[in-house]
Amino acid sequence: MHADYVIVGAGSGGSALAYRLAEAGKRVMVIEHGGSDAGPFIQMPGALSYPMNMALYDWGFSTEPEPHLGGRILATPRGKVIGGSSSINGMVYVRGHARDYDTWAEMGADGWAYADVLPYFKRMEHSHGGSGPEFRGTDGPLHITRGSRSNPLFDAFIKAGEQAGYPVTADYNGQQQEGFGPMEATIWKSRRWSAANAYLKPAVAGGNVQVVRGFARRVVMEGKRAVGVEIQRGSDVQVIRAGREVILAASSINTPKLLMLSGIGPAEHLREHGVEVIADRPGVGANLQDHLEIYMQFSASQPITLFKYWNLWGKAWVGAQWLFTGKGPGASNQFEACAFIRSKAGVDYPDIQYHFLPIAVRYDGKAVASGHGFQAHVGPMRSKSRGSVTLRSGNPADSPVIRFNYMSHPEDWEDFRSCIRLTREVFGQEAFKPYIKDELQPGPAVQTDDQLDDFLREHVESAYHPCGTARMGRASDPMAVVDPECRVIGVEGLRVADSSVFPQVTNGNLNAPSIMVGEKAADHILGRTPLPASNLEAWVNPNWRTAQR
């Protein structure tokens, strides 16, 4: 089996890349360990808490005991299915802030500043309800929509932010991210609009893309050149050869693992596990980043939350309504209002993100507050803590060792305390008076720095935004893994096109920037001149030096 290009991973980056290479007439083979994305658990937006907890769709990774969280082990879900993590995520669409990409360029990712990536975001988007064609795409494959905000709590959240003195933004993916406003989602015609639905399935239908189900064991190297991928199908091990290049888009967990198993990584670590060293790249598996968040939960004084459906009959009704009419709570991910704010004066662009949800429940759906309630997920965007992904052994079947080192930087604690205190202020505004009864979590008794820290240690959760483990930089940078054209430094015929390449985590959810990486990498692979840089400028609060809002 062979193709011009062999892509490992049918997720956000890999699907977009396959689509653009096929569009240019190339033959593409996509290797995916997971199976079909058919069925209501994935396709119904309201069922989002199910697929990430199903072994059928999730790799089932978890961290080592996290030393700064009292030894807690946190789940690290990654999609093992057509569409990858875009088939099991919360469907929230956030490009990130313009400054994120300018920072990437400053860190050595030349050609990836905001001016360079904005045209790719526009190329991929079909925005419904965004701020218009200047900043937003209107005819790309990826449909982006907004919820109806029919529950009054969504507008109460936006109004409360305004009453607390924050800006309101009509489109956080447009010119102005900072502020409170409606949230956007990869939902189209009441279905999850994953990278599989937007990109991979149309590409397969076009005839130039073939998806092969198999477990990628390593990249096959001849000298310093990648020539194919060794995969396992059942008990059978075979090689899929690439006429031109191999591209890894297997997630920020599996991509560094595959690089190391293929002899590309920190030399001493590879030798320890009996792997022959082909390129000594100490940055492989390093620089692991994520977003942590807490759920600020409140009990409701009126029975208007989703709790009324949180029983067997309610869930059956929601499912049936969605199945037969495409309407009702099942047609939304229920993240319909959000905010991006700055934690203090002197911070030039938002460093705190909010997702608002009209029920008090854990993201994985495992625990729900007894009774009507609502919550805001809140967390800092730019933690200085860094972790790693390393090999457990030289056996491809073994899961890698994942250590995020969450909360290892003292500023993380300070930032999270700010999150809690600023959130309490928002929920204390007049707009919430008709709806709010009590604070459930952390609870009114939790006030001092020490009390807040104890709560955080016990209750912070991952927002599931891992990235950075094969970071992009200049070829002269010893810790860079790929150059600004996504080529793995030190070998030939091998690239990476997923969130592994992010030098720094972006402001928000990672699906949109991961797709953008696949889109832009395609032009580099095809040897095309990148899309012309934009001269549009993003809004930055003019008073950021002296005011927090």
pLDDT-derived band at 368, boundaries 50, 70, 90: confident
Rounded Cα distance, 509 and 465, in Å: 6
- Residue 186's SS3 state is coil
Question: What is the per-residue pLDDT for 369?
Answer: 75
Could you say which of 126, 143, 377, 465 is catalytic?
Answer: 465
Rounded Cα distance, 168 and 159, in Å: 8
Q: What is the pTM of this model?
A: 0.98
Question: What is the per-residue pLDDT for 362?
Answer: 78
Cβ-based neighbour number of residue 234 at 10 Å: 7
407 labelled binding-site residue: no
Tens-place pLDDT, residues 300-324? 999 999 999 999 999 999 999 999 9
92 labelled binding-site residue: yes
Please check the confidence at residue 366 and state whether its pLDDT lies above 90: no
488 labelled binding-site residue: no
Q: Is the peptide bond before 442 cis (omega within 30 degrees of 0)?
A: yes
pLDDT-derived band at 1, boundaries 50, 70, 90: confident
Question: What is the per-residue pLDDT for 106?
Answer: 98
173 labelled binding-site residue: no
> Strand 142-146 relative to strand 184-185: parallel, antiparallel, unpaired?
antiparallel
Question: What is the per-residue pLDDT for 421?
Answer: 98
Candidates 146, 14, 98, 82; CA nearest to 496 is 14
Q: Mean pLDDT, to the nearest integer, of 181-202?
A: 98
pLDDT-derived band at 364, boundaries 50, 70, 90: confident
Question: What is the per-residue pLDDT for 247?
Answer: 99
91 labelled binding-site residue: yes
Please check the confidence at residue 339 and state whether its pLDDT lies above 90: yes
Please check the confidence at residue 363 and state whether its pLDDT lies above 90: no
**Residue 465 annotated to the active site:** yes
Please check the confidence at residue 222 and state whether its pLDDT lies above 90: yes
Which domains does the chain possess? 1-143+186-287+466-533 (3.50.50.60), 148-182+292-380+408-459 (3.30.410.40)
Tens-place pLDDT, residues 233-285? 999 999 999 999 999 999 999 999 999 999 999 999 999 999 999 999 999 99
CB 27 within 8 A of CB 204: no
Rounded Cα distance, 371 and 368, in Å: 8
Please state, rounded to an integer, the average pLDDT across all residues of the chain.
Answer: 97
- Residue 504's SS3 state is coil
- Percent of the chain residues topping a pLDDT of 90: 97
Question: What is the per-residue pLDDT for 350?
Answer: 98
Tens-place pLDDT, residues 421-469? 999 999 999 999 999 999 999 999 999 999 999 999 999 999 999 999 9
